[in-house]
Amino acid sequence: MPIIHKKQLVSTNTYAQQLLDKGKIKNECVIVTDEQTAGKGTASNSWESERGKNLTFSIVLFPAYVKVSEQFLISMAVSLGIKKFLEKNISTQVKIKWPNDIYVGDKKICGMLIENSIAGEDIFNSVIGIGLNINQKKFLSDAPNPISLAQLSGEVYNLENLLPVLVKNIGSQLDLLKKNRKKLLQKDYISNLYRYNEVHKFKASAEVFSGKIIGIDNFGHLFIEKETGSVEKFMFKEVEFII
Ligand code: BTN
């Protein structure tokens, strides 16, 4: 995938979307920047990233191979690619936290913001924004639990060298999706899921309850079995993990 580098952008997702709107991107590519002046997080949060310290980039895909009803497979593939990349650099286990975070222990090392343009049942294009904390040592925002690769390993990384390797890892997982290896991706995703099949506390519609995650479907719904034995299905933002 070609990598387009910009010194500063408002947000790589916004920039990618602008280029798409103008018809200036026709093929898969990656847009990376050293600094975002208004990096976007999920749920209208902002994304903190010190200039030049971390990887903040967007991957643009034209995933004609995925139906809207199975759009979460894109998140599964990308998350697995990031996880596999990280595990080559640190010995600690890396987990994927539903829906779009990567965790080391109970700390967040990476967040993703995926914005899909939908045309009927098909996904016309997908902008996958990835913020991966690499060399940053101090986090100033009120994000509850950030961590970086440097904090975990004590090393300093060269971002320019890391990005192509990371993109390659993500690309390999996306290739599995292109080859329709859905079952393999689902299995790998579930076996690397944060807090899978363990009893924990969750919060939904102001109610705190204990339960365990028992599955995720290809649309991205999370299934939690409550202590009472009933199974409930949640969409993004409908349920929170209580740490
Ligand atoms: C989250 O809140 O966890 C999602 C964070 C996503 C951040 C990345 S950084 C690159 C891309 N551009 C943005 O504005 N946001 C995403």
Cα of 28 from ligand 1 centre, angstroms: 19
- The dihedral through the CA atoms of 139, 104, 129, 163 has a sign that is positive
59 lines ligand 1 (CB under 6 A): no
Select the more confidently predicted residue: 24 or 92. Answer: 24
For residue 240, the model assigns a pLDDT of: 93
Q: Is 129 in the pocket of ligand 1 (CB under 6 A)?
A: yes
61 exposure class (CB count in 10 Å sphere: 0-12, 13-18, 19+): buried
Query: What is the mean predicted confidence (pLDDT) over 32-37?
Result: 98
**Dihedral sign computed on CA atoms, order 195, 199, 200, 201:** positive
Cα dist from 212 to 114, 178, 217, 243, whole Å: 26, 31, 15, 14
Please give the average per-residue pLDDT across 44-60, as a whole number: 95
Atom of ligand 1 nearest to the CA of 36: 14
**Token pair 């899909």 in the structure block, residue:** 116
Give residue-wise pLDDT tens across range 194-231: 999 999 999 999 999 999 999 999 999 999 999 999 99
How confident is the model over 83-109, as a mean pLDDT?
Answer: 95
Q: Are 176 and 184 in contact (CB under 8 A)?
A: yes
Spell out the residues 6+ positions from residue 88 whose beta carbon is closer than 8 angstroms to its own. Answer: none
Q: According to the model, what pLDDT value does residue 185 have?
A: 97
Residue 243 pLDDT > 80: no
pLDDT digits (tens, 9 = 90+) for 123-181: 999 999 999 999 999 999 888 899 999 999 999 999 999 999 999 999 999 999 999 99
Q: How far is the CA of 127 from the centre of ligand 1 (A)?
A: 11
Give the per-residue pLDDT at 36: 98
Termini Cα distance of the chain:
37
Measured in whole angstroms, the distance separating CA 117 from the mean position of its chain's CA atoms is: 17
Mean pLDDT of the chain: 96
Q: Is 54 in the pocket of ligand 1 (CB under 6 A)?
A: no
CA of 132 to the centre of ligand 1 (A): 9
% of the chain at pLDDT higher than 70? 100
What distance in Å separates the CA atoms of residue 122 and residue 166, rounded to the nearest whole number? 27
**pLDDT value for 144:** 82
Q: What is the pLDDT of residue 91?
A: 82
Across 46-53, average pLDDT: 96
Q: Is 84 in contact with 110 (CB distance < 8 Å)? A: no
pLDDT at residue 141 in the model? 84
The answer to whether the beta carbons of residues 71 and 123 sit under 8 Å apart is yes
